């Protein structure tokens, strides 16, 4: 019996060795990135992805060259040398200026007029101190509306940088009520006509739809990539996207230009503040703290509560300017209790609510220091919040995050006029009301007809 088991083991190891050889050859020639990724996960255990050989030919058509087929069918026959502005010198009315564009024309109107040929007079009753930019035309409208002051937003981002958060006052100042709209001159876009062609190309094209592009003062476009991408133009797929580092570990994409791979690697905390613990392991999964630390500094300890724990921990942090940010961030966690009624409260009745599970954890603060605290794993899908304190009535109710950003319940479904969100077996579904039919009929996995 032992001989049979040994023989079986040898056969398995031999088959794995053969597959490994085949894989090494395929790695050189294969262009199937998904297949390469699965092989690497299987044999090497780490999250590794193949680097993309980024070519300009792979870039989507930019805005200037993207074809508009409704126009091209006629435009390709047009004489591009024809100049309609010379043919009809009065083609633009009301002192508008005519410009030729490959056999077609457009008019640059004075700020008092608008239209294809500047034929409309703008009602500017409500346009005093308007925010319209770049010689755009302000036109009064019937009802007031609230818009984002993108001119101010751009100024704030220029002064503060893209990563620094805006204050509550700054966010409030961005919303302004106006009773007009801006009609842009050619080459400008946006509600206030403050975005140029270069801005739009940077935002919508340069980052390949995988991030947000912004122009610096020198006109160079920089991409802020979505978390699963990186690279100058967000062209690379991150190996860290579906990798998780525990206990405050930071996942880093390590590039190997020789093999053209990117590997997800967890960088673990070197030390923990106050308790002098250590974190090790490929995924920083091994957390060790001295058994001599006081009970009041031990998270999830029976008979203690979160508020008491944080107060004791914060009191141990040295009083100097270097650690002011640490205290402020830990205090923010301590006061992050928000159950829909109480705001900025403290969790003083235990560690977690609504059957949440208290788990010792490590948090990394903005100063790159690490602290031994706790987190709550919410076992009920209808609960969320740091302490699982926010509980929804059903799957269609707004989450805590949705409430914080001002979302509405009717945004759960795309058409609130003809449908609504209903909770079916604990999951949110869109239901469309069709006359007075009372039978619930499943259309697909997520859409129902009532």
Can you give the pLDDT at residue 48? Answer: 66
Can you give the pLDDT at residue 39? Answer: 44
Per-domain residue ranges for the chain?
278-391, 405-449
Residue with tokens 């140029």: 196
Can you give the pLDDT at residue 41? Answer: 43
Phi, psi of 234 (to 5 degrees): 60, 30
Q: What angle do CA 377, 168, 248 make, to 5 degrees?
A: 30
**Residue predicted with more confidence, 82 or 57:** 82
The yes-or-no verdict on residue 230 having pLDDT over 80 is: yes
Each residue's pLDDT tens digit, 368-422:
999 999 999 999 999 999 999 999 988 888 888 877 766 666 666 654 445 678 8
Alpha carbon distance 250, 365 (integer Å) = 12
Look up residue 222 and give its two tokens: 């920089």
The yes-or-no verdict on residue 162 having pLDDT over 70 is: no
Alpha carbon distance 164, 180 (integer Å) = 32
Residues 6 or more apart whose Cβ sits within 8 Å of residue 310: 330, 331, 333, 334, 346, 373
Residue with tokens 């050859």: 25
Contact 407, 413 (CB under 8 A): no
Alpha carbon distance 338, 299 (integer Å) = 21
The yes-or-no verdict on residue 286 having pLDDT over 90 is: yes
Q: Which of 281, 200, 202 is nearest to 247 (CA)?
A: 281
Q: What is the 3-state secondary structure (H, E, C) of the chain?
A: CHHHHHHHHHHHHHHHHHHHHHHHHHHHHCCCHHHHHHHHHHHHCCCEEECCCCCHHHCCCCCCCCCCHHHHHHHCCCCCCCCHHHHCCCCCCCCCEEEEECCEEEEECCCCEECCCCCEECCCCCCCCCCCCCCCEEEEEEEEEEEECHHHHHHHHHHHCCCCCCCHHHHHHHEEEEEEEEECCCCEECCCCCEEHHHHHHHHHHCCCCEEEEECCCCCEEEEECCCEECCCCCEECCCCCCCCCCCCEEEEEEECCCCEEEEEEECCCCCCCCCCEEECCCCCEEECCCCCCHHHCCCCCCCCHHHHHHHHHHCCCCCHHHHHHHHHHHHHHCCECCCCCCCECCCCCCCCCCCEEEEEEEECCCCCEEEEEEEECCCCCEECCCCCEECCCCCCCCHHHHHCCCCHHHHCCCCCCEEEEEECCEEEEEECCCCCCCCEECCCCEEEC
What's the whole-number mean pLDDT along residues 180-188? 92
The yes-or-no verdict on residue 130 having pLDDT over 60 is: yes
Can you give the pLDDT at residue 126? Answer: 94
Torsion-angle region of residue 231: left (phi > 0), alpha (psi -120 to 50) or beta? left
The yes-or-no verdict on residue 12 having pLDDT over 80 is: no
What's the whole-number mean pLDDT along residues 147-171? 80
Cβ-count burial 408-418 (b if 16+ within 10 Å, e if not) = eeeebbeeeee
Percent above pLDDT 90 for the chain:
39
Can you give the pLDDT at residue 156? Answer: 84
- 317 burial (CB, 10 Å; 0-12 / 13-18 / 19+) is middle
What's the whole-number mean pLDDT along residues 238-244? 84
Can you give the pLDDT at residue 244? Answer: 86
């Amino acid at each position: 019996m032992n001989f049979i088991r040994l023989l079986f083991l040898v056969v398995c190891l031999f088959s794995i060795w053969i597959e490994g050889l085949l894989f090494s050859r395929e790695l050189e020639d294969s262009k199937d990135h998904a297949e390469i990724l699965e092989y690497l996960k299987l044999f090497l255990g780490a999250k590794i992805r193949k680097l993309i050989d980024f070519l300009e030919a792979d870039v989507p058509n930019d805005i200037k060259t993207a074809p508009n087929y409704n126009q091209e069918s006629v435009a390709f026959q047009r004489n591009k040398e024809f100049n309609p502005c010379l043919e009809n010198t009065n083609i633009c009315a009301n002192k508008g200026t005519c410009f030729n564009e490959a056999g077609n024309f457009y008019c640059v109107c004075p700020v008092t007029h608008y239209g294809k040929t500047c034929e409309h007079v703008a009602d500017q009753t409500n346009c005093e101190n308007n925010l319209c930019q770049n010689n755009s035309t302000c036109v009064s409208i019937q009802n007031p509306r609230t818009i984002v002051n993108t001119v101010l937003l751009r100024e704030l981002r220029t002064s503060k940088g893209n990563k620094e958060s805006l204050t509550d006052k700054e966010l409030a100042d961005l919303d302004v009520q106006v009773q007009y709209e801006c009609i842009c001159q050619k080459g400008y876009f946006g509600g206030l006509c403050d975005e140029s062609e270069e801005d739009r190309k940077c935002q919508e094209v340069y980052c390949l739809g995988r991030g947000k592009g912004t122009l610096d003062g020198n006109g160079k476009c920089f991409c802020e990539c979505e978390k699963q991408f990186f690279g100058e133009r967000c062209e690379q797929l991150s190996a860290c996207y579906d990798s998780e580092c525990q206990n405050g570990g930071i996942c880093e994409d390590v590039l190997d230009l020789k093999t053209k791979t990117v590997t997800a690697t967890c960088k673990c905390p070197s030390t923990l503040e106050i308790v002098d613990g250590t974190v090790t392991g490929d995924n920083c999964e091994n957390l060790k703290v001295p058994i001599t630390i006081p009970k009041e500094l031990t998270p999830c300890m029976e008979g203690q509560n979160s508020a008491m724990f944080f107060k004791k921990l914060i009191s141990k942090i040295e009083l100097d300017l270097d650690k002011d940010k640490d205290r402020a961030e830990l205090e923010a966690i301590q006061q992050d209790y928000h159950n829909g009624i109480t705001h900025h409260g403290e969790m003083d009745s235990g560690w977690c609510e609504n059957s949440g599970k208290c788990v010792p954890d490590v948090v990394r603060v903005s100063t790159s220091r690490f602290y031994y605290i706790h987190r709550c794993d919410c076992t009920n899908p209808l609960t969320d919040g740091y302490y699982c304190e926010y509980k929804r009535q059903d799957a269609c109710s707004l989450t805590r995050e949705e409430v914080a950003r001002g979302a509405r319940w009717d945004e759960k479904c795309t058409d609130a006029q003809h449908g609504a969100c209903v909770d079916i077996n604990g999951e949110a579904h869109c239901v469309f009301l069709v006359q007075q039919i009372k039978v619930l009929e499943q259309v697909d996995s997520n859409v129902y007809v009532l």
